[in-house]
């Protein structure tokens, strides 16, 4: 899935599903049990629904989560934990960076440019065309270019995540995917579909690899 | 001959026009107006129409003719 | 594209306000509502006559709204609890000066700086006053992202109709959560404001917008005039929703996001053969007193659940007036009650 | 014989409530004259502050809004952004502008809002009974500095023009006074320049006017004018603090 890259950074507009996808990639890599998996939450923009909320659950599955300074997880205090630097030292680990939303997610990554320029890294943009600022492909491409400049890394691919949560349908996935397919500038890596809406025939029908997402971020009434 | 007209019952008798007049041709009246102030009064001659009194008057009580 | 989009509650507020004709936004960032100013700062500069101004404080933001709406424009500000406290001065002035405006409070934990987790503990502040003097706010409480959009749109119309501030209150997680939402059309026709809005004196005598009335009798008369308007609102603008209340013996009363937890509790109670239902106030002021009173006879008891130490429960007790027991269960500090603990708490009284 | 000075059209015939010799009346008249001269009366919204000028709307033939203490620049921002055709006169005293509303005035200036601020500095709180203001001089006795303002406890006077001139956006900032014919003429000219700049869309301007408060200073009106000349304008030097158009080029980072 991640090719021969040791690191993968997930970026995109707010609420396109970056965290859900980051957690799912980490879970899949951990399940392969080849290497130690570290999930780094670099979302300093949005403080609700971040992957650090699931730190304990992920730890049980062998994923180390590095997020804001310990003890300040609920604080309106977007500090970076000093232990982030260890991911660059531990060369035998696989690393997933969950970046913050919008153009600014790339900025935090740029902070580690001196380390990243010696690493092999994917920078993948999650796109849900049913979200604001992803509704038009030209806006999506402009955002990708902006993130790339901010991160000082090229965007290496797109993850299509077309959905409307519990109102997702096959037709809607198809419609969203068709739109994302029209983006010429970046290669489409795979489609993500939430497990409730996944059907095995989709892979063939849509002619694209699919990552089935398990739902990790749930509401109290669900 | 330039002259000024002071609206007697609008004047509060603050004396700023008296202070500023370069020709000293304005005085505070001994009499009272409707509001029980001693209003300012033009002595009737010597005005050069410089408008200083009208400029300083806080109550816009002075009109100047030339 | 699809007629629906996937939006956070905060984004839905922003987009819906724009569709309601709001071209001017004044605000100050505070978690958990910063998506609103972020959205506005992207969208409004692209609209002719539109402007996003990041105010120096929430105090300034509400006063900028006062200025903008006095000129006849649709304008809004949004904040979260501590920021809303700062706006209280301006809200009181606007209420007295009879100028329409829309304020959104995406509530967080308090008192004090508290935390950024969701709470409903600003009920007293926004429903019972908050600012000084005799005034009321229309307060609307959505429970879904769709309602965040719909009530924002309606809030502008209510504000214009009665020339007063209207506040939308949402819990922090409602602002942050995503759901599909469908928006209304862009509004193009508005209430005529030429009677009072400040537009210069070209075609009319000088107009004045003020909240200072020195003479006690004049001030009293003005307050009576405000309260005549408020009486009209109590008659016409009460909003609530019922779920399975027709035969319910247990009436659960909850507003906002927590009403959705209550809904799953009612389903579970029904599964056990217990006749429970929900009455969800949508307008917190005017409060659905009559709707609650109409349930007194059939009710064994009322059960109020809030994300606070119990604030709306006082209004429920006033409505029920001792006729039946009113029980309360609340979590605060940003803790969201779970269906299980709410269920267990209802069962305590069976 | 021609009438060469008459009451301006912008003022109505009501007698102002101000004390005899108060500077507010002088400045009100200049504002009205200037709006008439520039033909801006019909487009003007006058914002009255909290302070002695809270009832300024009783006297002007313009539209009017009354703002909470210190908030006039925020209200002005809202009005102007809603309707850029309007001419906004934001009128504030020193308690209002330099104490309760320091955030509002600093940021309206820093944003370069296209409004005119007329700032009346009389070094004292007039309306509430002559208490110490942020602009009260060291040693000046007021009802809350009965032994004179002590800089060890109450600090030094706040200088608004100097402070605002450190920001880049303001188009024009000048301090004038009402104590002499020359200074009255300069004040009138400054007000006119401010309104004219606003009408041309050039940005934020502020005219600070040293103005007498005979009642709270305990002086006759002429003595009060002399005190401005001899004492107050020594602490607050008159002059132009800014008169240039700010750099407005937008430079985006990547």
Domain annotation covers residue A142: yes
Domain annotation covers residue A221: no
Any chain D CB within 8 A of the CB of B33?
Answer: no
Angle between helices D72-82 and D102-111 (to 10 degrees): 40
Tell me whether chains B and A touch (3+ CB pairs under 8 A). no
Question: What is the number of structural domains in chain A?
Answer: 1
Q: Which residue is closest to C201 within chain D, CA to CA?
A: D42
Each residue's pLDDT tens digit, C228-281: 999 999 999 999 999 999 999 999 999 999 999 999 999 999 999 999 999 999
Domains of chain D: 23-242 (3.40.50.970)
Structure tokens given for C136: 């009321």
Question: What is the number of structural domains in chain B?
Answer: 1
- Cα–Cα distance, D158 to A86 (Å, whole number): 51
Q: Are strands C5-8 and B26-28 parallel, antiparallel or unpaired?
A: unpaired
Task: Give C177-214 as a DSSP string.
Answer: -EEEE-PPPPP------TTTS---SSSSS--EE-----
Q: Which residue is closest to A147 within chain D, CA to CA?
A: D254
Q: Confidence class of residue D187 from pLDDT cuts 50, 70 and 90?
A: very high
Q: Are strands A63-66 and A36-42 parallel, antiparallel or unpaired?
A: parallel
Range of the domain at A188: 7-213
Q: Residue D254 pLDDT more than 80? A: no
Q: In this complex, do C198 and D68 lie within 8 Å of one another by their Cβ atoms?
A: no
Interfacial A residues in 96-155 facing C (CB < 8 Å): 102, 128-133, 135
Q: End-to-end distance of chain A based on CA atoms, in angstroms?
A: 30
Chain C contact probe: residue of D53, D57, D76, D78 with most C CBs at under 10 A: D78
Pick from D68, D81, D107: CB nearest C89:
D68
Pick from C24, C93, C202: CB nearest D82:
C24
Task: Show the 3-state SS of D131-196.
Answer: ECCCCCCECCCECCECCCECHHHHCCCCCHHHHHCCCCCCCEEEEEECCCHHHHHHHHHHHHHHHH
Q: In this complex, do D221 and B16 lie within 8 Å of one another by their Cβ atoms?
A: yes
Q: In this complex, do B3 and D1 lie within 8 Å of one another by their Cβ atoms?
A: yes
pLDDT of residue A53: 62
- Cα–Cα distance, A1 to A45 (Å, whole number): 27
Structure tokens given for A11: 């970026």
Any chain D CB within 8 A of the CB of C96?
Answer: no
Q: In this complex, do D7 and B16 lie within 8 Å of one another by their Cβ atoms?
A: no
Q: In this complex, do D107 and C60 lie within 8 Å of one another by their Cβ atoms?
A: yes
- C54, C57, C59, C63: CA torsion to nearest 10: -20
Q: Give burial (CB, 10 Å; 0-12/13-18/19+) of C261.
A: buried
Residue C59 with chain D: CB contacts under 8 Å: 71, 74, 103-104
Each residue's pLDDT tens digit, A186-221: 999 999 999 999 999 998 999 999 999 987 766 656
In degrees rounded to 5, what are phi and psi of residue D11?
A: -105, 145
Distance (Å) from the alpha carbon of D254 to chain A's nearest alpha carbon: 6
Q: What is the ipTM for the molecules in this complex?
A: 0.90
pLDDT of residue D250: 84
Each residue's pLDDT tens digit, C2-59: 589 999 999 999 999 999 999 999 999 998 999 999 999 999 999 999 999 999 999 9
CA distances from A67 to A74, A91, C272 (A): 11, 19, 43
Q: What is the mean pLDDT of chain C?
A: 96
Nearest to B27 by CA among B39, B11, B45: B39
Nearest to D139 by CA among D22, D235, D210: D235
Determine whether domain C5-236 maps to CATH 3.50.50.60.
no
Range of the domain at B59: 3-65
Pick from A15, A133, A135: CB nearest C1:
A135
- Cα–Cα distance, A22 to A40 (Å, whole number): 9
CATH value at residue B33:
3.30.70.20
The dihedral of CA C38, C40, C42, C45: what is its sign?
negative
**CATH 3.40.50.970 in chain C, residue ranges:** 5-236
CATH value at residue A131:
3.40.50.300
Each residue's pLDDT tens digit, C160-191: 999 999 999 999 999 988 999 999 999 999 99
Q: Which residue is closest to D224 within chain B, CA to CA?
A: B16
Q: Confidence class of residue C328 from pLDDT cuts 50, 70 and 90?
A: very high
Nearest to A47 by CA among C108, D241, D237, D159: C108
Task: Give chain A as a DSSP string.
Answer: --TT-SEEEEEESTTSSHHHHHHHHHHHHHHHTSSEEEEEEE--S--SS-GGGGHHHHHHTTEEEE-BSTT-TTSS--PBPGGGGHHHH-TTEEEEEEEPSTTTHHHHHHTTHHHHTTS-EEEEEEE-TTSTTSSSHHHHHHHHHHHHHHHTS---EEEE----GGG--HHHHHHHHHHHHT--SS-EEEEEEEGGG--TTHHHHHTS-EEEEPP----TT-
Contacting partners of chain D (3+ CB pairs under 8 A): A, B, C
Please give chain A's pLDDT, 222 residues, in tens: 788 899 999 999 888 889 889 989 999 999 988 889 999 888 765 555 555 567 778 888 889 988 766 666 565 555 677 788 889 988 899 999 998 777 777 888 888 899 988 899 999 999 999 998 899 999 999 999 999 999 999 999 999 999 999 899 999 999 999 999 999 999 999 999 999 999 999 989 999 999 999 877 666 566
pLDDT of residue C1: 47
pLDDT of residue D128: 82
Chain D contact probe: residue of B4, B14, B61 with most D CBs at under 10 A: B14
In degrees rounded to 5, what are phi and psi of residue C54?
A: -85, 110
SS3 C274: coil
Determine whether domain C241-347 maps to CATH 3.40.50.920.
yes
Pick from C116, C173, C336: CB nearest A76:
C116
pLDDT of residue A48: 56
Residue C2 with chain A: CB contacts under 8 Å: 130, 164, 172, 175
- Cα–Cα distance, C254 to C270 (Å, whole number): 18
Tell me whether chains D and C touch (3+ CB pairs under 8 A). yes
Residues facing C209 on adjacent strands: D65
């Amino acid at each position: 899935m991640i090719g021969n890259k040791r690191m993968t950074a997930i970026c995109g507009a707010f609420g396109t599903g970056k965290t859900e996808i980051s957690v799912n990639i980490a879970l899949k890599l951990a399940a392969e049990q080849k290497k130690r998996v570290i999930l780094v939450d670099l979302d300093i923009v949005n403080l609700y629904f971040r992957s650090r909320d699931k730190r304990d659950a992920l730890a049980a599955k062998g994923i180390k989560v590095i997020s804001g300074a310990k003890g300040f997880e609920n604080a309106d205090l977007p500090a970076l934990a000093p232990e982030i630097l260890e991911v660059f030292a531990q060369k035998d680990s696989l690393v997933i960076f969950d970046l913050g939303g919008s153009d600014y997610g790339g900025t935090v990554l740029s902070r580690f440019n001196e380390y990243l320029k010696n690493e092999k890294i994917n920078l993948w943009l999650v796109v849900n065309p049913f979200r604001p600022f992803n509704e038009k492909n030209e806006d999506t491409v402009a955002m990708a270019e902006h993130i790339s400049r901010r991160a000082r890394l090229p965007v290496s691919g797109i993850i299509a995540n077309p959905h409307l949560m519990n109102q997702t349908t096959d037709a809607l996935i198809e419609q969203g995917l068709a739109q994302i397919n029209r983006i010429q500038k970046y290669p489409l890596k795979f489609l993500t579909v939430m497990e409730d809406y996944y059907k095995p025939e989709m892979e063939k029908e849509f002619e694209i690899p699919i990552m089935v997402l398990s739902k990790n971020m749930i509401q109290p009434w669900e | 001959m330039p002259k000024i007209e002071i609206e007697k019952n609008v004047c509060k008798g603050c004396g700023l026009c008296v202070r500023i007049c370069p020709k000293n041709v304005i005085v505070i009246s001994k009499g009272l107006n409707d509001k029980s102030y001693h209003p300012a009064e033009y002595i009737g001659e010597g005005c050069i129409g410089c408008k200083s009194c009208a400029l300083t008057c806080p109550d816009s009580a002075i009109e100047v003719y030339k | 594209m699809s007629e629906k989009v996937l939006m956070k509650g905060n984004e839905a507020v922003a987009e819906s306000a724009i569709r309601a004709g709001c071209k001017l936004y004044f605000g100050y960032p505070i978690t958990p509502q910063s998506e609103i100013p972020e959205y506005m700062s992207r969208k409004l500069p692209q609209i002719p006559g539109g402007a996003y101004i990041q105010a120096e404080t929430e105090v300034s933001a509400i006063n900028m709204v006062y200025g903008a709406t006095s000129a006849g424009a649709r304008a809004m500000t949004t904040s979260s609890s501590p920021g809303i406290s700062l706006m209280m001065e301006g809200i009181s002035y606007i209420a007295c000066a009879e100028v329409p405006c829309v304020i959104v409070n995406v509530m967080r934990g308090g008192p004090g700086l508290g935390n950024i987790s969701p709470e409903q503990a600003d009920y007293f502040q926004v429903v019972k006053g908050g600012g000084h003097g005799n005034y009321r706010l229309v307060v609307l409480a959505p429970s879904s992202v769709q309602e965040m959009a719909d009530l924002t749109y309606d809030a502008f119309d209510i504000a214009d109709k009665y020339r007063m501030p209207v506040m939308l209150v949402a819990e922090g997680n409602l602002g942050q959560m995503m759901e599909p939402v469908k928006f209304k059309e862009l509004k193009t026709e508005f209430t005529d404001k030429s009677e009072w809005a400040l537009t210069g004196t070209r075609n009319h005598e000088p107009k004045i917008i003020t909240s200072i009335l020195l003479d006690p009798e004049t001030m009293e008369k003005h307050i009576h005039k405000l309260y005549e308007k408020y009486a009209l609102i109590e008659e016409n603008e009460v909003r609530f929703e019922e779920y399975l209340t027709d035969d319910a013996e247990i009436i659960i009363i909850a507003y906002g996001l927590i009403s959705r937890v209550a809904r799953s509790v009612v389903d579970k109670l029904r599964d056990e053969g217990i006749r429970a239902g929900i009455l969800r106030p949508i307008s917190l002021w005017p409060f659905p007193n009559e709707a609650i009173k109409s349930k007194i006879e059939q009710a064994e008891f009322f059960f109020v659940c809030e994300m606070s130490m119990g604030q709306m429960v006082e209004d429920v007790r006033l409505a029920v007036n001792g006729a039946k027991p009113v029980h309360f269960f609340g979590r605060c500090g940003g803790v969201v009650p779970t269906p299980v603990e709410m269920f267990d708490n209802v069962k305590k009284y069976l | 014989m021609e009438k060469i000075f008459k009451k301006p059209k912008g003022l109505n015939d009501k007698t102002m409530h101000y004390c005899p010799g108060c500077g507010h009346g002088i400045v009100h008249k200049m504002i009205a004259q200037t709006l008439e001269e520039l033909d801006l009366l019909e487009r003007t919204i006058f914002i009255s502050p909290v302070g002695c000028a809270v009832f300024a709307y009783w006297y002007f033939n313009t539209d009017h809004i009354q703002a909470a203490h210190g908030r006039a620049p925020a209200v002005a921002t809202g009005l102007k952004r809603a309707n850029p055709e309007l001419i906004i006169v934001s009128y504030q005293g020193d308690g209002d502008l330099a104490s309760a509303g320091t955030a509002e005035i600093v940021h309206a200036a820093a944003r370069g809002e296209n409004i005119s601020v007329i700032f009346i500095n009389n070094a004292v709180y007039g309306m509430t009974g002559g208490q110490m203001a942020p602009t009260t001089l060291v040693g000046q006795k007021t009802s809350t500095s009965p032994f004179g303002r002590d800089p060890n406890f109450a600090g030094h006077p706040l200088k608004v023009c100097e402070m605002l001139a450190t920001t880049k956006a303001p188009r024009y900032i000048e301090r004038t006074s009402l104590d002499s014919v020359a200074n009255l003429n300069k004040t009138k000219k400054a007000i006119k320049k401010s309104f004219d700049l606003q009408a041309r869309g050039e940005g934020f301007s502020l005219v600070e006017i040293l103005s007498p408060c005979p009642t709270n200073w305990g002086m006759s009106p002429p003595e009060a004018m002399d005190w401005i000349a001899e004492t107050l304008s020594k602490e607050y030097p008159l002059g132009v603090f800014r008169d240039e158009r700010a750099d407005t080029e937008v430079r985006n980072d990547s």
